[in-house]
Structure 1
């Protein structure tokens, strides 16, 4: 794995389990992630795979009955598990920020945009209202909002969905955080706005050196955005590596199925590949590999838990039959 000294984020064995009356839901079950300064990581998987809960866990936004623990959880050399709640609160918004799938989870409908943005700055920095307002105008311009000074004076409901999402992204960028976690922020937007936001986010990460975890179910989007991909299934990472290596040569059958289901020029007029079945209940996972019931490579060996192994430099796969064809 990467040398720890160069890492912004070092997560080993992250577990977030929900203790319910029906049993324990292992939403995140032993996830390990490493992220360097300025790097973009795509966290990919179907709905229910644990992607969003991983993001919420890193931000310490998981409520009861969820319980989070990790073998190692370091951010910029700091042990996050030892931080008091008040210290963690100061860290959020200043050094770590999150963009939610629904911008109305970020924006307060009863407050004007300027009030919300100025408060977000002054909660972490001792600056005047004028300096905070100038910074808000600057960042709105950075995410491509026209007439940013005018947009500050409106309420969220007076803006389109695309504008609201850009403002949510701008709020995440206000204090120049070292890490942004984006939870499917473009899912509800049309393709044109989606493309513009992806371009702006990528550009900002390059210019500011901000690291980004982009959570999505859409491999087509993240393949052109991310430096590395981590593919999640049933609360676990099953494959991770450089984007080009995974898109060009997926080793895990689940990753291969996700890529094969994307329309392309070559698939015109043909039926798209479909992964059979659905994600198993996290309350009652089968022993061994959780993907075995849907896998065309499955064998008796798959009742044993597969080990995450390095198949090429930086490319790790958790499968007994990695790389095999149907």
Structure 2
């Protein structure tokens, strides 16, 4: 069936604008390689409300970034979305022509990468890049676009914005470049920002400043944020809800306080237990035994079974979804009766 045309500019998205802003259902993104089919995202579902921050956590290779790229429509061959639904304000994105998706990127949905140089062109001044980012979606003059760019830098806490606009990216610090990348993502006040580990390479002081600024922007602008990270300490101070992923699947999904205080899935307990804040002074950090299985050779049933202390024969079958309390869901045959970190 041919998807119905998406109105451009996408003002209808605001008119309908039901919650959730983002609804992902049964998303499967696979990579067809000579080594086999890599099921990088294998049946992921979650929602994101307006003005909400959802933290997506898990080890490297758990499918977090591929989920973000899938939502943006930026999965390149040999990868492709093979099943599922991605709705932005109720409008289906899966199957949309590239031209329509390109018109939405930056305008209604934006992405901030771990490396800001994936956003910034090293041979163009910051002003040129920000003005072009505005004019590609809106018919405004350079003077107005430049003033909006200046205001965008101020919004993310950049002092001396006129000086920064005249600079080339290589003349700026890593933290400054990341702030500019966030400012570019916010230029059109998008409904959704996907942030893929944007503070991982920054020192803790700059990281803390950017996290505080993101929270302030969410409160002021009402933007929704999907924050992808491997760092639970970041999620603890930033997110409203948390989606824990393992081997391309959701393991546990809950409000941030419920998940950190009463983790129920063995994998979530292992992640929290391995955090330095949970280690006794002088004691070695807890480590989850084993390695993440190859995405091309996932075991039948629960993908975590080979590393799980509670695994048994039942775990060779797909685990059921359990909801212990409202909004606290997990996929496990043997969850903890009461959440405790490993």
Q: TM-score range by the shorter chain?
A: over 0.9
1:299 lines up with 2:306 in the alignment: no
1:150 matched to which residue of 2? 163
8 Å CA contact 1:14–1:68 kept in 2: the answer is: yes
Of 257, 260, 264 in structure 1, the residue corresponding to residue 270 of structure 2 is 257
Partner of residue 311, structure 1: 324
* Equivalences for residues 76-155 of structure 1 within 5 A: 76-155=89-168
Asked if residue 225 in structure 1 is aligned to residue 241 in structure 2, the reply is no
Q: 1:48 aligns with which of 46, 54, 61?
A: 61
Q: Deviations over 1:140-193 (max 9, x none)?
A: 111111101110001111111111111111111111000000000000000000
Correspondence 1:1-326 to 2 at 5 A: 5-264=18-277, 267-324=280-337
Report deviation, 1:266. Answer: 6.2
Q: Is the 8 A contact 1:41 1:228 kept in 2?
A: yes
Deviation at 1:202, TM superposition (A): 0.7
SS of the residue corresponding to residue 7 of structure 1 reads: coil
Contact 1:308 1:316 (8 Å CA) reproduced = yes
State the shift of 1:309 in Å. 2.0
SS where residue 299 of structure 2 aligns? coil
Residue 5 of structure 1 deviates from its aligned partner by 4.3
User: Deviations 1:285-304 (Å, cap 9, x if unpaired)?
Assistant: 11110000001111111101
Would the aligned equivalents of 1:12 and 1:70 in 2 still touch at CA under 8 Å? Answer: no
Give the C-alpha shift of residue 70 in structure 1. Answer: 3.5
**How far apart are 1:81 and its partner, in Å?**
2.0
Q: Deviations over 1:223-262 (max 9, x none)?
A: 1100000000000011001000000000000000101111
Q: 1:133 to 1:248 in 2, by over 3 A?
A: same
TM-score (norm 2): 0.92
The structural deviation recorded for 1:72 is 2.3
**Gaps in structure 2 of 5+ consecutive residues:** 1-16
Write the distance in 2 (CA, Å) between the matches of 1:141 and 1:232. Answer: 35
Q: Matches of 2:311 and 2:93 in 1, distance apart?
A: 38
Take 2:74 and 2:95, find their aligned partners in 1: how far apart are those partners? 16
Q: Is the 8 A contact 1:11 1:70 kept in 2?
A: no
Give the Cα–Cα distance (whole angstroms) in 2 for the partners of residues 165 and 70 of structure 1: 33
